[in-house]
Amino acid sequence: MRCITTPENMLSPEGAFGGNPLFYWIYGLAAHLVPCWLAYVIAGLVIMLILINAVLLGAAIVSWGERRLLGRFQNRVGPNRWGPFGALQPIADLTKLITKEDIIPYGADRLAFTAVPVIMVSSLLVATAVIPFAKDVALVDLNVGVLFILAVSSLTSIAIFTAGWASNNRYALFGAGRAVAVLISYEVPVVLSLLGVVVVAGSMSLGDIVVAQAVPFFLVQPLAFFVFLAGMSAELNRTPFDVAEAESEIIAGYHTEYSGIKFALIQAAEFGGALFVSGLIATLFLAGWAGPVADWLGWLWFLIKTFIGIFLFVWIRSTFPRLRLDQIMAVCWKFLMPLSIINLAAVVLEVYFLRDASGTLSTSDLWIMAGINMVVAVVSIAFFGRIIRQKIRNSSRTMTASAPMVRGVPTIEVG
Amino acid sequence: MTIRTEPMTVNVGPQHPSTHGVFRVRITFDGEDIVEVEPVLGYLHRGSEKLAEERNYVQVVTLTDRLDYTSSMINNQAYCLAVEQLLGIEPPPRGKYLRTLTAELQRIASHLIAVGFFVQELGAFGTPLMYTFRSRERILDLFEMLCGARITVSYMRPGGVFSDTPPDFWPALDQFLEDFEGELEEIENLLLNNEILMVRTRGVSPLPADVAINCSVSGPVLRASGVNWDWRKMAPYDAYDQVDFDVPIGSNGDNYDRFWVRMQEVRQSLRIVRQCIAQIEPGPVRLELPLVLRAEPGAEAYGRVEASKGELGFFLVSDGGVSPYRCKIRSPSLINLTITEHLLLGWKLADMIVSLGSVDINMGEVDR
């Protein structure tokens, strides 16, 4: 029987699973036993299963690693009871959480309340599909990868707002209101900084962006890297921008009422989000799977760079206090926003003048850009940093000369 | 078109991650702004004042431990001073010095907690808190050497302290002072000039000096508002007239000043501890007193100390019996809470928690 659904027939080598040896291997194996269309489906599902498990397992490892790291930063031990170095702690946590009672509070919107963890986890998993873990190893190398990631990851803000609304809890509502304000605002500078990356790479495909990084983009566009890092800490609700789930203020923010498996899923989405964003930083700014030696070790370089990102996030979390909501907004609109516009303008001008006839940039062009942009970054961060510093400081009220006394308490005059 | 919004009332506490125990405050928010504040107290009421009427003078010491459980030594000291006034006795010099020394160590421990939780409430996840607790732990170890207990120490007695120091206490204290110098520097470097901390706390919830005085607040909260008032200087008790120290004064009375004053007081307390070590001499630590103390009928006494949170006073009335006829506790945390409304009104939800943290209340003392 002639097989019309072979990968070769169905897809070009650049398309989904294109060039992925693992897919061909599974397909070949399955095609011995079942009709080839079924083998195609099976192979695709197996790859997706691997990806989903990798992301969720990665989230578990991140949750363990973050707690261990935080422990070291905070001068304590961290989880170390279960398994070597406590590495099985996520399993213990998960076991505890799925055996707990799954409470839906009285007066909650049951459907919306239940949908939130699913939306959060699935948007994370879908967004991971376009990240190249190694050379030619991505579920799909979309030609609009960056746009796709932005579109899918903004689903999270809808989920968070739904959670706050559906929980019938005032702390959750506070958290949701804060989260939506922060997420929507920070989307703007993040998109603008990514635009700079896209302009230099000349493509929205993440695979092409990695290839274009003969010089890693965190050198070529330090401003974009800085804005992206700050913006993503806000999108991930991490310090110093973690107002949405500020534990000391509003308990746990939007997920105050979640327990059991729903809470586990939300946590998985959060730690998975940290993993995903670190992977994105590695891909977009640290040259992804490209390493000093051996392209076939791409996955290793990618992993190392991802963990650098995670380490950075944990480090920031363990060090900084939290900003207030209005200050976070000021930082977004008055600091990161101008920086990302300056970065975009500088990059566009440089690309316009430096590119050759075919519209490509050579490695030396990138180094020239890196040199110019470093200076631009230092100058503009210093300049806008001064402005935002004064703005934020002045926004705090000064002391009034004499204020109303406490009700019912007789007052005395103080000379 | 204008959008009308409704104010929203939220019960903060009694179970909340950062209300320092079972403090409950009912707050009406307009968006994130606070428009109405109503503190609700009494969740930790144990009737300490009434219990004191049922016990003899020495037994009451154990009750004082449980008032402000982060500064038990100072509570003991205040009560013992009151009883000594009532009986007209004075402890021997070594007892006085030991009391001063332990009270100052306790003040350091208490301020470390205050600072750690203050920064924790600002959102610094754990790190400063763990740094401060590392040093506090050492102080508790020293207390354990002295009296076998870490929190509820009951170390002091009317007429001195109940036992002399064990021989290994002094080397351990020296070692602690040596290590703490570096640890304190680390905490100061991390916090004192932290940009985010300054932005969040400078100019927030200021407390003018006249309001502070009219509400009769005391302790670091009062001094942060620029009032130079410290009972250790105003009416020296125990060995405080023998030691030399400065009283740090704030200028704006905002959250940063309250935090700053505590950090500086830790340094001053260290100075006092050092001087106590240098000046202390061997001798008896406690007067020879009968097992059961009796005061003159109708005698009254008010013993007060500068506790870590403010003026802590014990007012005792005797009817000639073995236990006080009346024991009134003037607890600084409760009085300092009277400024809650003034501090919070008009500020934001995020500032609310920080301002409450900067007042540094302890519910064991508020509700008694």
Identify which of A74, A170, A398 has the shortest CB distance to residue B203.
A398
Identify which of A322, A392, A404 has the shortest CB distance to residue B123.
A322
The single residue listed with the structure tokens 């605002």 is A185
Contact B230, B305 (CB under 8 A): no
**Cβ within 8 Å, pair A321-B17:** no
Residue B259 resides in a domain: yes
Tokens of A136: 């030619």
pLDDT over 60 (residue A402)? no
pLDDT bucket at A178, cuts 50 / 70 / 90: confident
Q: Identify the pLDDT of residue B107.
A: 92
Q: Does B307 touch chain A (CB under 8 A)?
A: no
Q: Which amino acid is at B254?
A: D
Would you call B264 helix, strand, or coil by DSSP?
Answer: helix
Residue A377 resides in a domain: yes
A185 shares a domain with A158: yes
**Cβ within 8 Å, pair B196-A409:** no
Residue A406 resides in a domain: no
Residues spanned by the domain of B296: 45-156+168-367
Contact B208, B253 (CB under 8 A): yes
Whole-angstrom CA distances from B259 to A317, A397, B193, B228, B288 are 22, 18, 12, 16, 42
Residues spanned by the domain of A300: 100-393
Q: Which residues of A59-82 are buried (b: 16+ CB within 10 A; e: fewer)?
A: bbbbbbbbbbbbbebbeeebbeee
Cα–Cα distance between B154 and B147 in angstroms, integer?
A: 8
**Cβ within 8 Å, pair B121-A248:** yes
A104 shares a domain with A77: no
pLDDT over 60 (residue A385)? yes
Ramachandran sector of residue A268 (left: φ over 0; alpha: ψ -120 to 50; beta: rest): alpha
pLDDT bucket at B14, cuts 50 / 70 / 90: confident
In percent, the amount of chain B with pLDDT more than 70 equals 99
Q: Identify the pLDDT of residue B108.
A: 92
| Higher-pLDDT residue of A134, A407 | A134
Range 329-358 of B in CB contact (< 8 A) with A = 338-339, 341-342, 348-353
pLDDT over 80 (residue B8)? yes
β strands within chain B, DSSP E = 8-12, 24-30, 33-40, 156-157, 160-161, 297-307, 310-319, 326-330
Pairing of strands B24-30, B8-12: antiparallel
Residues of chain A positioned with their CB less than 8 A from the CB of B18: 247-249
Residues of chain A positioned with their CB less than 8 A from the CB of B341: 406-407
A182 shares a domain with A311: yes
Residue A410 resides in a domain: no
Tokens of A413: 């005059």
Task: Among B251, B349, B351, B358, pick the best mutation site for testing chain A contact (most A Cβ within 10 A).
Answer: B349
Q: How far is A175 from chain B (nearest CA, A)?
A: 11
pLDDT in tens, B176-222: 998 898 888 888 888 877 878 888 888 788 888 888 888 888 889 98
User: Does ipTM come in above 0.90?
Assistant: no
Residue A91 resides in a domain: no
DSSP B343-366: HHTTSBHHHHHHHHHHH---HHHH
Taking only Cα atoms into account, the Rg of chain A, rounded to an integer number of angstroms, comes to 24
DSSP A254: G
Contact B78, B63 (CB under 8 A): no
Contact A130, A149 (CB under 8 A): yes
Q: Which amino acid is at B228?
A: N
Q: Identify the pLDDT of residue A393.
A: 64
Q: Identify the pLDDT of residue B247.
A: 85
Tokens of B167: 């021989």
In 3D space, the residue among B139, B146, B156 whose CA is nearest the CA of residue B104 turns out to be B139
Q: Identify the pLDDT of residue A3.
A: 59
Residue B35 resides in a domain: no
A70 shares a domain with A184: no
Mean pLDDT, chain B, rounded, equals 87
Query: What mean pLDDT is predicted for residues A325-354?
Result: 86
Contact A118, A111 (CB under 8 A): no
Domain count of the fold of chain B: 1
Q: Identify the pLDDT of residue A384.
A: 83
pLDDT in tens, A54-69: 888 888 888 898 888 8
CA A332 to chain centre: 17
A141 shares a domain with A22: no
Residues with Cβ within 8 Å of residue A298, at least 6 apart in sequence: A133, A134, A135, A137, A288, A289, A290, A291
A200 shares a domain with A74: no
Residues of chain B positioned with their CB less than 8 A from the CB of A174: 32, 349
Identify which of A317, A392, A396 has the shortest CB distance to residue B125.
A317
Residues of chain A positioned with their CB less than 8 A from the CB of B32: 174, 325
A316 shares a domain with A206: yes
Q: Identify the pLDDT of residue B106.
A: 92
Residue B341: CATH number of its domain? 1.10.645.10
Cα–Cα distance between A315 and A326 in angstroms, integer?
A: 24
Residue B21 resides in a domain: no
Residue A408 resides in a domain: no
Tokens of B33: 């702004």
Q: Identify the pLDDT of residue A73.
A: 87
Task: Among B119, B125, B256, pick the best mutation site for testing chain A contact (most A Cβ within 10 A).
Answer: B125
pLDDT bucket at B140, cuts 50 / 70 / 90: very high
pLDDT over 80 (residue A190)? yes
In percent, the amount of chain A with pLDDT more than 70 equals 88
A266 shares a domain with A306: yes
Contact B61, B201 (CB under 8 A): no
pLDDT over 50 (residue A297)? yes
pLDDT over 80 (residue A17)? no
Q: Identify the pLDDT of residue A401.
A: 37
| Domain C-terminal end among A51, A82, A113 | A82
DSSP A286: S
Q: Identify the pLDDT of residue A143.
A: 82
DSSP A146-185: HHHHHHHHTHHHHHHHHHHHHTT-HHHHHHHHHHHHHHHH
**Cβ within 8 Å, pair B211-A409:** no
| Higher-pLDDT residue of A393, A110 | A110
Residue B324, preceding peptide bond in cis (omega within 30° of 0): no
Residue A131 resides in a domain: yes
Tokens of B48: 């300490």
Q: Identify the pLDDT of residue B29.
A: 86
Residue B162 resides in a domain: no
In this structure, the dihedral spanned by the alpha carbons of residues B350, B120, A190 and A118, taken in order and rounded to 10 degrees, is: -90
DSSP B136: H
pLDDT bucket at B342, cuts 50 / 70 / 90: confident
Whole-angstrom CA distances from A64 to A61, A126, A219, B255 are 5, 23, 31, 35
A113 shares a domain with A55: no
In 3D space, the residue among A338, A342, A368 whose CA is nearest the CA of residue A353 turns out to be A368
**Cβ within 8 Å, pair B214-A404:** no
Phi, psi of B352 (to 5 degrees): -55, -50
Pairing of strands B156-157, B33-40: unpaired
Q: Does B6 touch chain A (CB under 8 A)?
A: no
Q: Lowest mean pLDDT: which of A74-78, A237-241, A337-341?
A: A237-241
| Domain C-terminal end among A22, A49, A82 | A82
pLDDT over 70 (residue B327)? yes
Residue A410, preceding peptide bond in cis (omega within 30° of 0): no
DSSP B299: E
Query: How many Cβ atoms sit within 10 Å of the Cβ of residue B71?
Result: 26
Q: Identify the pLDDT of residue A405.
A: 39
A329 shares a domain with A258: yes
Q: Identify the pLDDT of residue A408.
A: 44
pLDDT in tens, A234-246: 888 887 888 877 7
pLDDT in tens, B62-79: 988 888 888 899 999 999
Residues of chain A positioned with their CB less than 8 A from the CB of B199: 323, 327, 389, 392-393, 396
Domain count of the fold of chain A: 2
Q: Does A67 touch chain B (CB under 8 A)?
A: no
Cα–Cα distance between A294 and B368 in angstroms, integer?
A: 70
pLDDT over 60 (residue A35)? yes
Query: What mean pLDDT is predicted for residues A250-277?
Result: 87
Residue A144 resides in a domain: yes
In percent, the amount of chain A with pLDDT more than 90 equals 0
Residue B34 resides in a domain: no
Query: How many Cβ atoms sit within 10 Å of the Cβ of residue A11?
Result: 14
| Higher-pLDDT residue of A45, A294 | A45
Residue B55 resides in a domain: yes
**Cβ within 8 Å, pair A401-B32:** no
Query: What mean pLDDT is predicted for residues B216-231?
Result: 86
A127 shares a domain with A66: no
Query: How many Cβ atoms sit within 10 Å of the Cβ of residue A231?
Result: 25
Ramachandran sector of residue B281 (left: φ over 0; alpha: ψ -120 to 50; beta: rest): beta
Query: What mean pLDDT is predicted for residues A265-272?
Result: 88
Identify which of A318, A397, A403 has the shortest CB distance to residue B342.
A403
Task: Among A74, A76, A170, A238, pick the best mutation site for testing chain B contact (most B Cβ within 10 A).
Answer: A74
Query: How many Cβ atoms sit within 10 Å of the Cβ of residue B6?
Result: 6
A296 shares a domain with A184: yes
Q: Does A320 touch chain B (CB under 8 A)?
A: yes
pLDDT over 80 (residue B5)? no
DSSP B31: T
pLDDT bucket at B111, cuts 50 / 70 / 90: very high
Mean pLDDT, chain A, rounded, equals 81
Query: What mean pLDDT is predicted for residues A6-13?
Result: 53
What are the beta bridge partners of residue B50? none
